[in-house]
Amino acid sequence: MRTTVRALLIATFSLTVLIATSPAIGDTVFDYKTAKVDSNDLSFYQPSITAEPYPLTSDMRVRNVIFCIGDGMGINQVALAGATVAGPGGKLHLERLPVSGLVRTWSANSRVTDSAAAGTALACGVKTNNGMIGMTPDEKAYCSILEAAQAKGMATGLVVTCTMSHATPASFGSHVKSRKLEPAISEQLIDNRINVLFGGGRKYFLPQSDPNSGRKDDLDLLAKARDAGYTCIHTPGQFRNVEGSHVLGLFQFDALTTGAPEPSLAMMTRKAIRLLRRANLDSTDGRYGFFLMVEGSQIDWECHANRVNGSIRQTLLFDQAVEAAVDFALKDGHTLVIVTADHETGGMTLNGGGNEDKGDAELAVKWSTKGHTGAPVGIWALGPGATRFAGVQDNTEIPKKIAQLLGIRPFPRPAK
């Protein structure tokens, strides 16, 4: 079948004039007031030359886990991005993972989850109410899979494009009653000594005396992090050169713009993998491996705004990060890569129309809501233990399966 959909969409994108106002790459401090990215520009993305699945690794011990979460990334968001860049017969990198299944996403108090409850399910293996982070509805804190991995001696990392303290990363490294408590979440992320933290949200690490602060107290969390042994960075030059067992990279006061000169999600993922491997080698002779969570945070945001091109762009940026994880996993052989979403946003549907032979086929995108939906989401896996993630499962089962593969027990378990 001809890839008319792809041709039409790419033709549309190619007509768009690129915005050329981004600052030159250098050691300038970021912090744009508004995003300087063009959602129509997909030139950054290199599609797979094949739709063949990646190899199914023969079962070996799982040493490392890379858990990739596309916030708001329903199956149709994946299908649309794939059709745009690879045509109806092509695949995104994440679709080439050899094991796939579906995930139910409901929360403790609603069939329509938010990212806090879904993140808690994916991180801690327990259901909670929408808005709550890392604890059950009765406010009992539960250990996240990241914290359990760390207790086992593994190096840990969180890489996101939202603020570091937004709901999904917060679920892996903090325990609070409300997702809105971002200053408190930021403190817990540092107190938890997570090795690598890359994302936005520097405002929550600055004391209120700083004009860019998002805090209402005098705590200088960057100073506290430095005292705790973190290397704190926020420029492209620092990002390129940084080394260390604990690195805090906050590249905007608020969320990332996901445009140059910020490091892309894929660049941050590659760097995090390198740092985590080194941190682990330095501290434990490489015996214990690492756990890394990577979030494509802004798919959700584009879908809340019902922006088709933005949804495609953010999904592709996320897919690039998945490709980075897969590249490492295939070379390493002991790394499990899991890709899923916390929920679907926008109720996106793809309606066909026109005639492909006449070249007027279009993939009409319709939205049923500006909120989240209760639709199941996809899951894809590669590496040792990947087959355990096949089939239909509840979101709380995912960290339980990771824990089993890492020999972590009991899990779920209350936090200390």
Partner 1 sequence: MRERRAILRVSATYSLEVEVGDAVHRGDKIQTVPDTEEAVVSSVSGTVESIQFDSGNHEFVIVIAPTP
Active-site residues, by number, are 115
> Of 43, 27, 75, 1, which is closest to residue 349 (Cα–Cα)?
75
341 binds partner 1 (CB under 8 A): no
What is the C-alpha separation between 49 and 67, in angstroms, rounded? Answer: 24
162 binds partner 1 (CB under 8 A): yes
State which residue, 14 or 110, has the beta carbon closest to partner 1: 110
35 binds partner 1 (CB under 8 A): no
Residue count, binding to partner 1 (CB under 8 A): 24
Query: Which range binds partner 1 by CB under 8 A, 2-10, 261-269, 278-286, 363-371?
Result: 363-371
Residue 361 near residue 354 (C-beta atoms within 8 A):
yes
3-state helix, strand, coil in the chain (%, to 5): 35, 20, 45
Q: Which of 281, 305, 364, 392 binds partner 1 (CB under 8 A)?
A: 305
192 binds partner 1 (CB under 8 A): no
Q: Which of 48, 64, 120, 163 binds partner 1 (CB under 8 A)?
A: 163
The nearest distance, CB 107 to partner 1, in angstroms, is: 9
**Please, what sign has the CA dihedral across residues 391, 105, 382, 412?**
negative
Q: Which of 31, 210, 254, 327 binds partner 1 (CB under 8 A)?
A: 254
Residue 175: both structure tokens together: 């325990």
Residue 182: both structure tokens together: 């971002």
Number of separate helices (H) and strands (E) present in the chain: 12, 14
The nearest distance, CB 115 to partner 1, in angstroms, is: 7
Give whole-number Cα distances, 160 to 104, 196, 266, 272, in Å: 23, 11, 10, 11
130 binds partner 1 (CB under 8 A): yes
170 binds partner 1 (CB under 8 A): no
What is the C-alpha separation between 115 and 370, in angstroms, rounded? Answer: 15
Adjacent-strand bridge partners of 291: 65, 156
> Of 227, 278, 264, which is closest to residue 248 (Cα–Cα)?
227
Binding track over 91-120 against partner 1, x by CB under 8 A: ------------------xxxxxxx-----
Query: Which range binds partner 1 by CB under 8 A, 42-50, 259-267, 285-293, 364-372?
Result: 364-372
Q: Which of 371, 391, 410, 414 binds partner 1 (CB under 8 A)?
A: 371
377 alpha-carbon distance from chain centroid:
15
Tell me which residues touch partner 1 (CB under 8 A). Answer: 109-115, 130, 162-163, 167, 179-180, 254-255, 298, 301, 304-305, 369-372, 374
